[in-house]
Amino acid sequence: MLLYFKTANSRSYQEEVEFSMIAADYGQKQLDRTIVLERYGVSVLKSSVIYGANAAGKSNLLKSIIDGVQLILKSSKNNKGEPLPHFYNKNQRVNQSKPTLYVFGLFMNNTHFEYSFSHTASRIFEEKLMAFLPERQITHFQRIYNPKTDKYDWSDLSHEFQNEASKMLKEVIVKKNNLFLSAAANLPEDSHLKLPIAEQIYDWFKNNIISVVNLSAPNWIDYEPALALIRQDKKAEAFFLEILAKTDFLIQGFDLKTLPNEEGQPLSLIHI
């Protein structure tokens, strides 16, 4: 599950902002709305709402999340010299040359992981994967671009990343426009140099972030991924109905239909 997300120099955000799913401590009253992470002594919200005035940055926060996820999923396919998509804050021209930061806190395998990276259009500047255990924290890997040497300074790799694949990735495969995590997770299927933890983190982003934001059309929302999930998953359907019922207690059910629009393209409609 997503615990928190931070970004800076991203779309309409110049300074660092944070979206957190960590619940405040309101005692027993919050138990039906949260998931308790007993290992860490905190609770996480089951759902959250982003609200604010028009042009306050609500959609841009969601877009920033998707921007970061898309880089994770696609950067391993970048060719040498291919620019990275850079959605920097355009309020000041100088921001174009400054790195955009993405930080994802996630809970997986009963462990709090934090994956972060920063980049411009030309390169990855910093990348780090950490695991926070109740008794200690582990830096699985960290690399920071050193402009003096035009190379990356690497931290010591954790036990999970200490194999020939990591050495090969560091020295040969990973380019300045590739994320190390993405490259490590997308080694050939027949490769004996697998990095399971990299694959697990990568798959978490691939399978757990569903975008309803249309990145190519500002101010438009793309509901199709969420509607596809409702069609396939009864739990998602029940959750959607629960949300509808809270907005109007008279709503008892809905039908999901797909009809052609004026251009003949399929259009999903919810009939309540």
pLDDT at 29 over 60: no
pLDDT at 220: 58
- Are the C-beta atoms of residues 123 and 151 closer than 8 Å to each other? no
pLDDT at 20: 96
Q: Specify the long-range contacts of residues 104-110, CB closer than 8 Å, at least 24 apart.
A: 104/2, 104/4, 104/5, 104/68, 104/205, 105/2, 105/3, 105/4, 105/5, 106/1, 106/2, 106/3, 106/201, 106/204, 107/1, 107/3, 107/37, 107/44, 108/200, 108/201, 108/204, 109/200, 110/39
The half-sphere exposure of 10 on its side-chain side, counting CA atoms within 13 A, is: 26
Region 219-248: what's the mean pLDDT? 73
Q: Global pTM? A: 0.81
For residue 43, the cross-strand partners are 36
pLDDT at 146: 95
- Are the C-beta atoms of residues 88 and 100 closer than 8 Å to each other? yes
Q: pLDDT tens, 178-228?
A: 999 998 888 777 666 678 899 999 999 998 887 666 656 555 556 677 777
Q: pLDDT tens, 123-181?
A: 999 999 999 999 999 999 999 999 999 999 999 888 888 776 677 677 656 789 999 99
pLDDT at 245: 73
pLDDT at 181: 93
- Are the C-beta atoms of residues 195 and 212 closer than 8 Å to each other? no
Report percent pLDDT > 90 for the chain: 45
**In the predicted model, what is the mean pLDDT of the chain?**
84
